[in-house]
A and B are shown apart, each in its own frame.
Chain A
Amino acid sequence: MARMKFICDAERCIECNGCVTACKAEHDVPWGVNRRRVVTLNDGVPGERSVSVACMHCSDAPCMAVCPVDCFYRTDEGVVLHDKDVCIGCGYCSYACPFGAPQFPTNGTFGLRGKMDKCTFCAGGPEANGTQAEFEKYGRNRLAEGKLPLCAEVCSTKALLGGDGDVVADIFRTRVLHRGKGSEVWGWGTAYGKPAGGGTGTEQKSGAGTKS
Protein backbone atom coordinates (compact mmCIF):
# COMPACT_ATOMS: atom_id res chain seq x y z
CA MET A 1 0.00 0.00 0.00
CA ALA A 2 1.18 3.49 -0.82
CA ARG A 3 0.86 6.40 1.54
CA MET A 4 -2.49 7.76 2.62
CA LYS A 5 -3.14 11.09 0.93
CA PHE A 6 -5.80 13.76 0.43
CA ILE A 7 -6.44 15.42 -2.92
CA CYS A 8 -8.85 18.33 -3.25
CA ASP A 9 -10.19 19.09 -6.72
CA ALA A 10 -10.53 22.88 -6.79
CA GLU A 11 -12.72 22.61 -9.91
CA ARG A 12 -15.34 20.73 -7.92
CA CYS A 13 -15.25 22.20 -4.44
CA ILE A 14 -18.38 24.30 -3.92
CA GLU A 15 -17.37 25.68 -0.51
CA CYS A 16 -20.23 23.90 1.24
CA ASN A 17 -18.05 23.26 4.30
CA GLY A 18 -19.54 19.79 4.65
CA CYS A 19 -16.05 18.39 5.23
CA VAL A 20 -15.40 20.91 8.00
CA THR A 21 -18.69 20.16 9.71
CA ALA A 22 -18.31 16.40 9.38
CA CYS A 23 -14.82 16.54 10.87
CA LYS A 24 -15.88 18.64 13.83
CA ALA A 25 -18.85 16.42 14.56
CA GLU A 26 -17.05 13.11 14.08
CA HIS A 27 -14.14 13.97 16.35
CA ASP A 28 -15.94 16.22 18.81
CA VAL A 29 -13.35 18.89 18.07
CA PRO A 30 -13.30 21.66 20.69
CA TRP A 31 -14.58 25.16 20.09
CA GLY A 32 -12.08 27.31 18.23
CA VAL A 33 -10.25 24.41 16.63
CA ASN A 34 -10.80 23.53 12.99
CA ARG A 35 -8.83 20.55 11.80
CA ARG A 36 -10.07 21.23 8.27
CA ARG A 37 -10.98 24.51 6.60
CA VAL A 38 -12.21 25.57 3.20
CA VAL A 39 -10.14 28.35 1.65
CA THR A 40 -11.62 30.38 -1.20
CA LEU A 41 -9.55 32.41 -3.62
CA ASN A 42 -11.08 35.40 -5.41
CA ASP A 43 -14.24 35.02 -3.35
CA GLY A 44 -17.24 36.50 -5.11
CA VAL A 45 -15.42 37.01 -8.38
CA PRO A 46 -16.45 34.87 -11.38
CA GLY A 47 -14.03 31.98 -11.54
CA GLU A 48 -13.46 31.82 -7.78
CA ARG A 49 -11.87 28.62 -6.54
CA SER A 50 -12.22 26.84 -3.22
CA VAL A 51 -10.01 24.18 -1.74
CA SER A 52 -10.41 22.15 1.42
CA VAL A 53 -7.25 22.26 3.51
CA ALA A 54 -6.06 20.21 6.46
CA CYS A 55 -2.88 18.39 7.44
CA MET A 56 -1.42 16.98 4.22
CA HIS A 57 0.48 14.25 6.07
CA CYS A 58 3.68 15.33 4.36
CA SER A 59 6.22 12.72 3.36
CA ASP A 60 8.94 14.95 4.81
CA ALA A 61 6.90 16.78 7.43
CA PRO A 62 8.38 20.07 8.65
CA CYS A 63 6.37 19.83 11.89
CA MET A 64 8.24 16.63 12.74
CA ALA A 65 11.55 18.30 11.96
CA VAL A 66 11.04 21.28 14.26
CA CYS A 67 9.27 19.67 17.22
CA PRO A 68 11.58 20.14 20.22
CA VAL A 69 10.06 17.21 22.16
CA ASP A 70 9.78 14.83 19.19
CA CYS A 71 6.09 14.15 19.75
CA PHE A 72 5.34 13.34 16.10
CA TYR A 73 5.47 9.95 14.46
CA ARG A 74 4.48 8.50 11.12
CA THR A 75 2.41 5.33 10.73
CA ASP A 76 3.12 2.60 8.19
CA GLU A 77 0.47 4.20 5.97
CA GLY A 78 2.28 7.55 5.98
CA VAL A 79 -0.14 9.28 8.35
CA VAL A 80 1.59 11.92 10.50
CA LEU A 81 0.31 11.72 14.07
CA HIS A 82 1.42 13.12 17.41
CA ASP A 83 1.37 12.20 21.07
CA LYS A 84 -0.49 14.78 23.14
CA ASP A 85 1.10 13.44 26.31
CA VAL A 86 4.49 14.54 24.98
CA CYS A 87 3.44 17.78 23.22
CA ILE A 88 4.26 20.90 25.22
CA GLY A 89 2.13 23.25 23.12
CA CYS A 90 5.07 25.42 22.07
CA GLY A 91 3.61 26.15 18.62
CA TYR A 92 6.80 25.57 16.59
CA CYS A 93 4.90 23.12 14.36
CA SER A 94 2.37 25.83 13.62
CA TYR A 95 5.10 28.14 12.30
CA ALA A 96 6.72 25.35 10.30
CA CYS A 97 3.55 24.01 8.65
CA PRO A 98 2.88 25.56 5.22
CA PHE A 99 -0.82 24.58 5.43
CA GLY A 100 -1.67 26.01 8.85
CA ALA A 101 -2.72 22.56 10.01
CA PRO A 102 -1.65 22.62 13.69
CA GLN A 103 -4.38 24.11 15.85
CA PHE A 104 -4.29 25.10 19.49
CA PRO A 105 -7.27 25.15 21.83
CA THR A 106 -7.49 28.45 23.65
CA ASN A 107 -8.33 27.00 27.05
CA GLY A 108 -6.00 24.10 27.60
CA THR A 109 -3.41 22.86 30.02
CA PHE A 110 -1.12 25.76 29.18
CA GLY A 111 -3.67 28.50 29.67
CA LEU A 112 -3.95 30.49 26.49
CA ARG A 113 -2.48 27.82 24.26
CA GLY A 114 -3.15 24.15 24.86
CA LYS A 115 -1.65 21.09 23.30
CA MET A 116 -1.59 20.93 19.55
CA ASP A 117 -4.52 19.40 17.69
CA LYS A 118 -4.61 18.56 14.00
CA CYS A 119 -6.12 16.29 11.38
CA THR A 120 -5.26 12.67 12.13
CA PHE A 121 -6.51 11.30 8.80
CA CYS A 122 -9.12 9.74 11.10
CA ALA A 123 -6.37 7.49 12.48
CA GLY A 124 -6.55 8.51 16.14
CA GLY A 125 -3.35 8.60 18.15
CA PRO A 126 -1.02 6.42 20.18
CA GLU A 127 -3.74 5.26 22.60
CA ALA A 128 -5.30 1.85 21.98
CA ASN A 129 -7.32 1.85 18.73
CA GLY A 130 -10.96 2.75 19.06
CA THR A 131 -10.93 3.32 22.83
CA GLN A 132 -12.61 6.12 24.72
CA ALA A 133 -9.16 7.43 25.76
CA GLU A 134 -8.15 7.72 22.13
CA PHE A 135 -11.42 9.39 21.18
CA GLU A 136 -11.14 12.00 23.92
CA LYS A 137 -7.64 13.03 22.89
CA TYR A 138 -7.60 12.52 19.13
CA GLY A 139 -11.12 11.70 17.96
CA ARG A 140 -12.39 8.66 16.11
CA ASN A 141 -10.04 6.10 14.60
CA ARG A 142 -11.93 5.32 11.39
CA LEU A 143 -8.99 3.65 9.70
CA ALA A 144 -9.00 0.97 12.40
CA GLU A 145 -12.73 0.54 11.75
CA GLY A 146 -12.12 -0.13 8.06
CA LYS A 147 -13.26 3.30 6.94
CA LEU A 148 -11.62 6.31 5.30
CA PRO A 149 -11.61 9.90 6.62
CA LEU A 150 -15.15 11.18 6.95
CA CYS A 151 -14.41 14.53 5.29
CA ALA A 152 -13.58 12.77 2.03
CA GLU A 153 -16.32 10.17 2.27
CA VAL A 154 -18.97 12.79 3.00
CA CYS A 155 -17.93 15.22 0.23
CA SER A 156 -21.02 15.72 -1.91
CA THR A 157 -19.22 16.65 -5.12
CA LYS A 158 -16.36 14.25 -4.48
CA ALA A 159 -14.00 17.19 -4.69
CA LEU A 160 -12.10 15.92 -1.69
CA LEU A 161 -10.62 12.47 -2.16
CA GLY A 162 -8.82 10.56 0.58
CA GLY A 163 -7.16 7.19 0.78
CA ASP A 164 -4.28 5.24 -0.68
CA GLY A 165 -2.30 7.79 -2.72
CA ASP A 166 -2.13 5.54 -5.78
CA VAL A 167 -5.88 4.92 -5.79
CA VAL A 168 -6.97 8.52 -5.31
CA ALA A 169 -4.42 9.66 -7.91
CA ASP A 170 -5.94 7.17 -10.37
CA ILE A 171 -9.44 8.45 -9.61
CA PHE A 172 -8.32 12.03 -10.13
CA ARG A 173 -6.44 11.17 -13.33
CA THR A 174 -9.48 9.37 -14.78
CA ARG A 175 -11.64 12.35 -13.91
CA VAL A 176 -9.34 14.86 -15.56
CA LEU A 177 -9.10 12.72 -18.70
CA HIS A 178 -12.89 12.36 -18.98
CA ARG A 179 -14.01 15.86 -18.29
CA GLY A 180 -13.63 18.76 -20.64
CA LYS A 181 -12.28 22.14 -19.75
CA GLY A 182 -13.64 25.51 -18.85
CA SER A 183 -17.31 25.61 -17.88
CA GLU A 184 -17.76 21.98 -18.91
CA VAL A 185 -15.70 20.89 -15.95
CA TRP A 186 -18.31 21.66 -13.34
CA GLY A 187 -20.89 24.36 -13.01
CA TRP A 188 -22.97 26.13 -15.66
CA GLY A 189 -22.05 23.98 -18.60
CA THR A 190 -22.67 20.78 -16.69
CA ALA A 191 -25.93 21.94 -15.15
CA TYR A 192 -27.54 23.77 -18.09
CA GLY A 193 -25.70 22.53 -21.15
CA LYS A 194 -23.57 24.42 -23.60
CA PRO A 195 -24.90 27.76 -24.86
CA ALA A 196 -26.53 27.49 -28.28
CA GLY A 197 -24.34 28.72 -31.11
CA GLY A 198 -21.21 28.71 -28.98
CA GLY A 199 -22.32 31.81 -27.09
CA THR A 200 -19.85 33.80 -25.09
CA GLY A 201 -21.88 34.29 -21.95
CA THR A 202 -20.72 34.77 -18.41
CA GLU A 203 -20.04 31.07 -18.08
CA GLN A 204 -17.44 31.31 -20.77
CA LYS A 205 -15.73 34.18 -19.03
CA SER A 206 -15.81 32.34 -15.71
CA GLY A 207 -14.13 29.35 -17.27
CA ALA A 208 -11.50 31.36 -19.05
CA GLY A 209 -8.90 31.00 -16.35
CA THR A 210 -9.32 27.31 -15.68
CA LYS A 211 -6.75 24.74 -16.52
CA SER A 212 -7.45 21.90 -18.89
Chain B
Amino acid sequence: MNRALVAGIAALGIVALAACGEKPQTAGGTKKVDAKAFEGAQNPYSVAGWKAGDRASWEDQMRARAMAQNEYNRVR
Protein backbone atom coordinates (compact mmCIF):
# COMPACT_ATOMS: atom_id res chain seq x y z
CA MET B 1 0.00 0.00 0.00
CA ASN B 2 2.78 2.34 1.00
CA ARG B 3 4.70 1.40 -2.13
CA ALA B 4 1.69 2.15 -4.33
CA LEU B 5 1.29 5.53 -2.68
CA VAL B 6 4.95 6.39 -3.27
CA ALA B 7 4.68 5.25 -6.89
CA GLY B 8 1.56 7.35 -7.34
CA ILE B 9 3.19 10.45 -5.90
CA ALA B 10 6.25 9.87 -8.09
CA ALA B 11 4.06 9.54 -11.17
CA LEU B 12 2.18 12.72 -10.28
CA GLY B 13 5.48 14.50 -9.77
CA ILE B 14 6.70 13.45 -13.19
CA VAL B 15 3.49 14.69 -14.80
CA ALA B 16 3.68 17.97 -12.91
CA LEU B 17 7.33 18.53 -13.80
CA ALA B 18 6.73 17.78 -17.44
CA ALA B 19 5.47 21.34 -17.84
CA CYS B 20 8.90 22.59 -16.82
CA GLY B 21 10.56 20.88 -19.76
CA GLU B 22 11.87 23.12 -22.54
CA LYS B 23 10.87 22.44 -26.11
CA PRO B 24 12.82 23.90 -29.03
CA GLN B 25 11.04 26.99 -30.39
CA THR B 26 13.13 27.72 -33.45
CA ALA B 27 11.26 28.32 -36.68
CA GLY B 28 14.10 27.17 -38.93
CA GLY B 29 12.94 23.60 -39.16
CA THR B 30 9.61 24.49 -40.67
CA LYS B 31 11.00 26.43 -43.63
CA LYS B 32 9.87 25.03 -46.94
CA VAL B 33 12.08 24.64 -49.98
CA ASP B 34 10.82 26.52 -53.01
CA ALA B 35 10.81 24.92 -56.44
CA LYS B 36 12.90 26.62 -59.13
CA ALA B 37 11.04 28.83 -61.58
CA PHE B 38 12.54 27.04 -64.59
CA GLU B 39 10.86 23.82 -63.47
CA GLY B 40 7.57 25.21 -64.73
CA ALA B 41 4.11 25.75 -63.26
CA GLN B 42 1.45 23.19 -62.45
CA ASN B 43 -1.20 25.01 -64.44
CA PRO B 44 -2.10 25.44 -68.10
CA TYR B 45 -1.03 29.10 -68.33
CA SER B 46 2.60 28.65 -69.33
CA VAL B 47 3.56 30.35 -72.56
CA ALA B 48 5.02 28.45 -75.48
CA GLY B 49 8.61 28.85 -76.59
CA TRP B 50 10.49 27.18 -73.78
CA LYS B 51 10.73 23.79 -72.14
CA ALA B 52 9.87 23.34 -68.46
CA GLY B 53 12.76 21.86 -66.53
CA ASP B 54 15.40 23.20 -68.93
CA ARG B 55 17.16 26.10 -67.24
CA ALA B 56 18.89 27.38 -70.40
CA SER B 57 15.60 27.37 -72.30
CA TRP B 58 13.87 29.25 -69.49
CA GLU B 59 16.66 31.84 -69.33
CA ASP B 60 16.41 32.39 -73.09
CA GLN B 61 12.67 32.85 -72.71
CA MET B 62 13.20 35.41 -69.91
CA ARG B 63 15.74 37.28 -72.03
CA ALA B 64 13.44 37.34 -75.07
CA ARG B 65 10.53 38.45 -72.93
CA ALA B 66 12.63 41.22 -71.36
CA MET B 67 13.78 42.43 -74.77
CA ALA B 68 10.13 42.80 -75.77
CA GLN B 69 10.15 45.79 -73.42
CA ASN B 70 12.67 47.53 -75.64
CA GLU B 71 10.58 49.61 -78.05
CA TYR B 72 13.69 50.54 -80.05
CA ASN B 73 13.47 47.02 -81.46
CA ARG B 74 10.14 47.99 -83.03
CA VAL B 75 10.54 51.62 -83.99
CA ARG B 76 14.05 51.66 -85.42
Contacts and interface: CB of A to CB of B under 8 A. Distances in A.
Interface string A106-135: 000000000000000001011111110000
Interface stretch (B1-9, B11-19, B46-54): B46-54
Contact of B27 (A86, A146, A168): A86
A129 B70 contact: no
Contact of A148 (B36, B42, B66): B66
Give the interface residue-count category, chain B.
Answer: 20 to 34
A199 B36 CA distance: 56
Nearest to B46: A145
A164 B72 contact: no
A65 interface: no
Interface string B46-76: 1101100000001101110111111110000
Interface in B29-47: 30-43, 45-47
B41 A81 contact: no
A28 interface: no
A109 B2 CA distance: 52
Contacts of A123: 37
**Chain B interface, DSSP helix/strand/loop, else mixed:** loop
A146 B49 contact: yes
Nearest to A79: B37
B70 to A, nearest CB: 4
Contacts of A86: 27, 30-31
A174 interface: yes
A136 interface: no
Contact of B37 (A75, A152, A153, A168): A75
Given A73-B34, A126-B33, A164-B62, 10 more contacts: A70-B28, A75-B36, A85-B30, A86-B27, A129-B35, A130-B42, A130-B45, A152-B69, A167-B67, A171-B72
Interface of A: 1, 69-71, 73, 75-77, 81, 83, 85-86, 123, 125-131, 141, 143-148, 152-153, 155, 158, 161-164, 167-168, 171, 174-175, 178
12 contacts: A75-B34, A76-B36, A85-B32, A128-B35, A130-B41, A131-B43, A144-B37, A145-B40, A146-B49, A153-B68, A167-B66, A168-B66
